[in-house]
Amino acid sequence: MTGGTLWTVVLAGSLGCYLLKLAGLSVPAAWVQQPWVTRVVDFVPAALLAALVVVQAVSVGRDLVLDGRLVALAVAALALALRAPFIVVLVLAGATGALVHVLWGW
């Protein structure tokens, strides 16, 4: 990609983000304050984060890969279900992923 093409893409993306923000501010308040809208908006960040985590845990490039990251994700989910502090969840997941990588080479 050349420098000119890259800057065109960056500027077009910036303009698109600005227009999307402007469209969101232009929505009437009565639409946004409906109960079903607020329920959906509350769950969107969690759904997006979960999608990003799953993609990072099971893919390398365009390939699906089952390795230590998936085991670490399962350990993190279990720790969260047991209501462990977040720092403990991070340490457990990191240690599990590293251990699986060292022991099995995944």
Residue 2: predicted pLDDT: 85
Going by C-beta distance under 8 Å and a sequence separation of 6 or more, which residues neighbour residue 54? Answer: 73
Residue 81: predicted pLDDT: 97
Going by C-beta distance under 8 Å and a sequence separation of 6 or more, which residues neighbour residue 101? Answer: 67, 68
Going by C-beta distance under 8 Å and a sequence separation of 6 or more, which residues neighbour residue 59? Answer: 65
Instruction: Tell me the mean pLDDT in the region 92-98.
Output: 96
Residue 32: predicted pLDDT: 85
Residue 100 pLDDT > 90:
yes
Instruction: Tell me the mean pLDDT in the region 14-19.
Output: 97
Indicate the pTM of the whole model. Answer: 0.63
For residue 84, the tally of other CB atoms under 10 A from its CB is 15
Contact 72, 36 (CB under 8 A): no
**pLDDT tens digits, 56-90:** 989 988 898 888 999 999 999 999 999 999 999 99
Q: Categorise residue 85: left if φ over 0, alpha if ψ from -120 to 50, beta otherwise.
A: beta
Average model confidence (pLDDT) for the chain?
Answer: 92
